[in-house]
Amino acid sequence: MTTELPTNINIKEPRWDQGTFLGRAKHFFTVTDPRNILLSNEQLESARKIIHEYRQGIVSPGLTEDELWRAKYIYDSAFHPDTGEKMILIGRMSAQVPMNMTITGCMMTFYKTTPAVVFWQWINQSFNAIVNYTNRSGDAPITVSQLGAAYVSATTGAVATALGLNALTKRVSPLIGRFVPFAAVAAANCINIPLMRQRELKYGIPVTDENDNRLGESPKAAQQAITQVVVSRILMAAPGMAIPPFIMNTLEKKAFLKRFPWMSAPIQVGLVGFCLVFATPLCCALFPQKSSMSASRLEPELQEKIRERGLEVERVYFNKGL
């Protein structure tokens, strides 16, 4: 006989230990699985029904623990955690690899002319704006003006960086020129993410104790969170934009690509995709999603507020975002 699944499994947290890099890597390999974008509406609604019922203490007949976790990750891949709304398809984390491999591959193939640089950097920042809006926080909603400012600033920064570096690299090795798109993407991330999360930098993000009791909002926690996200985003792009240039530089000297030059873009996109399949989840896992910092680093007024409540807190915790 099969026993009914218990109702005390904590599906609010990831399945694997987030205190270890391996546990975080397993979690993000599941979250960013590109196969999730192929799921039908019926499969998504079925997962939502299982999760909603389980949270109310209702267990579907015959449901196993593996099936419950599978439903949780399907649900999380498609529905916003705060609003419960179905997210835009290309803005979901499961769309990161196929979308980024296409855009990055094209940026690295068509980087020599000004129109191509402007077009692909614009496409890339448009995609980033969609991702940032789709994965916005419910506690700190992104306004249209904030979204527009981040979009325009990041696009301008990326295009200016790319065009400026292109001009500087005309007299050096073609291989060096292939790294211009990466420099532009890195510059755009340094502009886009802080602007997109400027409200957090100004007013702070929620911090809690180890038992998830909310203590207040801290701009210093926001600074740490955003720094970690910028670092992971830049490192995420690095393998796909640093390894293929060496391979393509060699391949383009061979007879095959000289005979079929149109194959350059598909090969480059494929190489970038292979790198991103691993780089995306592994770089997301560099820092815990539930990050922490010493309470002594908080703003003095927040520290005083915590002491007034009679609490002795050594470390505070917060969601760093993606």
Identify whether the C-beta of residue 273 lies closer than 8 Å to the C-beta of residue 98: yes
Q: Is there a domain that residue 286 lies in?
A: no
Q: Is there a domain that residue 288 lies in?
A: no
Q: 225 and 169 in one domain?
A: yes
Whether the full predicted model's pTM is greater than 0.85, yes or no, is no
Q: 145 and 42 in one domain?
A: no
Q: 51 and 141 in one domain?
A: no
Separation CA 113–CA 13 (nearest Å): 47
Q: 160 and 102 in one domain?
A: yes
Q: 185 and 101 in one domain?
A: yes
**Nearest to residue 289, comparing CAs of 318, 311, 249?**
318
Separation CA 33–CA 152 (nearest Å): 30
Q: Quote the pLDDT of residue 256.
A: 79
| Structural domain containing residue 72 | 21-86
Q: Is there a domain that residue 292 lies in?
A: no
Identify whether the C-beta of residue 243 lies closer than 8 Å to the C-beta of residue 101: no
Q: 200 and 107 in one domain?
A: yes
Q: Quote the pLDDT of residue 173.
A: 67
Domain count across the chain? 2
Q: Which of 53, 86, 119 is the last residue of a domain?
A: 86
Q: Is there a domain that residue 294 lies in?
A: no
Structure tokens at 154: 């990041």
Q: 249 and 131 in one domain?
A: yes
Q: Is there a domain that residue 3 lies in?
A: no
Q: 246 and 206 in one domain?
A: yes
Q: 253 and 116 in one domain?
A: yes
Structure tokens at 70: 């599978």
Q: 210 and 153 in one domain?
A: yes
Q: 241 and 181 in one domain?
A: yes
**Virtual torsion, Cα 300, 303, 309, 314, nearest 10 deg:** -170
Q: Quote the pLDDT of residue 1.
A: 40
pLDDT tens for the 322 residues of the chain, in order: 455 788 788 888 888 888 899 999 998 898 888 899 899 999 999 999 999 888 888 888 888 889 999 999 898 888 877 677 888 888 888 888 899 888 888 887 777 778 888 888 888 888 887 887 776 655 566 677 777 777 787 778 777 777 777 777 666 666 676 677 777 777 777 877 787 777 788 888 888 888 888 888 888 988 898 898 888 888 888 888 788 878 887 887 888 778 887 787 788 888 888 888 898 889 888 888 888 888 888 888 888 888 888 778 788 888 887 7
Q: 130 and 32 in one domain?
A: no
Q: φ and ψ at 190, to 5 degrees?
A: -65, -25
Q: Quote the pLDDT of residue 46.
A: 92
Q: Is there a domain that residue 6 lies in?
A: no
Q: Is there a domain that residue 295 lies in?
A: no
Q: Is there a domain that residue 9 lies in?
A: no
Q: Which of 36, 64, 86 is the last residue of a domain?
A: 86
Q: Quote the pLDDT of residue 137.
A: 58
